[in-house]
Amino acid sequence: MLALEKRPNPSRFWLYATPVVAVALTMVAGGVMFAILGKNPFEVVRTIFWVPLFGEFAWYLRGQLLVKAGPLILIAVGLSLGFRAGIWNIGAEGQYIMGAIFGAAVGLAVFPTENRLIFPVMILAGLFGGWIWAMIPAILKTRFNTNEILVSLMLVYVAQTILAMASTNFLRNPEGSGFPGSRNFSSYPAASNPELIAGTGIHWGVVTAVFVVVAAHVLLQRHLLGFQIKLAGQAPRAARFHGVSPNRLVVLCMGVSGALAGVAGLFEVTGPAGQISIDFNVGYGFTAIIVAFLGRLNPVGILFAGLLMALTYIGGEMAATNLGLPSAAIQAFQGMLLFFLLAVDVMTNYRIRFAAMGAR
């Protein structure tokens, strides 16, 4: 018989081995699925994980990895702080949208003025847009004890409706002959977020993501606040005795994660996406939750997890086009990754005992 036995302390080995084992298991199980679909599983797994990095067009695709990973990392680092403290912001997608709308609105309001200060002010507006949207569930939780998971999630749908309004109404391109969508920022240099070095995919959002990873790492390792966040998650009672105010922590963690999601939206709308459009959001806010856990809620881990997730997207696209796989198979493959991660994660806190039937 198999039995699960709680470990006295979480296993350090499994803490770090979990993502690696999960990725390996995903490759195996995914391979079986691809084989059932009639494709060569080695070919598919190779196309997903190897070709974007070292294949013929790696010079282009490596940059695209950064474009895709940037917002994921930026959002996931913010979320991980809250997750560590047991504060569940599930609505990063909405905060991402609101950051983009606030930031874009500032830029479009002063069109076509050229001034060096415009983009920095837009970044502040993006931070503010995400922050204010996250403050709604935060304040409702601290004042009225509502569930932040539900409120933040519901606000995603509100944000999507505001996005539809923005692109058909108040941010619509006045020269777009009635078509929905704002002006394209690529033709407005003062407000755009172009590639900093051509061909690398690096834009200000990617730079910010790396900076945020370092800042979060320092915060968690060296600062009292970081200690309080970790303590609140592991031992809420002990944290209270230590003088940690739970309400203050909720406002802080929701605020930081909201602001980071918002600024990710701002960098996306001014850079890769180019404009506010009805379907501007493509799920970064939700995928970032997977990235946060895949990275073990650790900033450096999230950096790698974000790159890995981006790899499955871009490699998955390659596999879909080149090998004729349905896009649903790629989504199932990504789903397996989270599934195995959570399954293997059991090993961190439990150990498996092989016991003879009835021996207890």
Binding residues vs another protein (CB under 8 A)? 40, 43, 46-47, 56-57, 60-61, 64, 67, 164, 168-169, 172, 177-180, 184, 268, 272-275, 277-280, 282, 314, 317-318, 320-324, 326-328
- Cβ-based nearer residue to another protein, 190 or 282: 282
Which CB, 51 or 229, lies closer to another protein?
51
Half-sphere exposure of 201 (CA within 13 A, CB side): 16
**Max Cα separation, the chain?**
79
Alpha-carbon distance of 95 to 75, in angstroms, equals 10
At closest approach, how far in Å is the CB of 34 from another protein? 12
Secondary structure element (H or E) that encloses residue 351, with its range: strand 350-354
CB of 277 to another protein, least distance (A): 6
Buried b / exposed e along 312-330 (16+ C-beta atoms within 10 A): bbbbbbbbbeebebeeebb
- Residue closer to another protein (CB basis): 298 or 312: 312
Positive or negative CA dihedral for 184, 115, 162, 331?
positive
> What CA–CA distances, in Å, run from 210 to 69, 71, 94, 95?
11, 11, 23, 20
Nearest residue (CB) to another protein, 59 versus 211: 59
Closest CB 159 distance from another protein, rounded Å: 13
Question: What one-character-per-residue DSSP string does 286-342 give?
Answer: HHHHHHHHHTTT-HHHHHHHHHHHHHHHHHHHHHHHHH---HHHHHHHHHHHHHHHH
Give the shortest CB-273-to-another protein separation in angstroms: 5
- Choice between 192 and 275, CB closer to another protein: 275
Per the listing, tokens 């304040």 go with 139
What whole-number distance in Å separates Cα of residue 241 and Cα of residue 231?
Answer: 11
Residue nearer to another protein on the CB measure, 250 or 261: 261
Closest CB 355 distance from another protein, rounded Å: 47
Helices (H), the chain: 12-36, 41-49, 51-54, 58-84, 92-109, 118-144, 148-165, 204-222, 224-234, 236-241, 246-270, 284-294, 299-323, 327-349
Give whichever of 258 and 272 is closer to another protein, judged by the CB atom.
272
Q: Which is nearer to another protein, 46 or 217 (CB)?
A: 46
Cα–Cα distance between 302 and 217 in angstroms, integer?
Answer: 11
Q: How far is the CB of 43 from another protein (least distance, A)?
A: 6
Q: How far is the CB of 102 from another protein (least distance, A)?
A: 19
What is the nearest approach in angstroms of another protein to the Cβ of residue 119?
A: 19
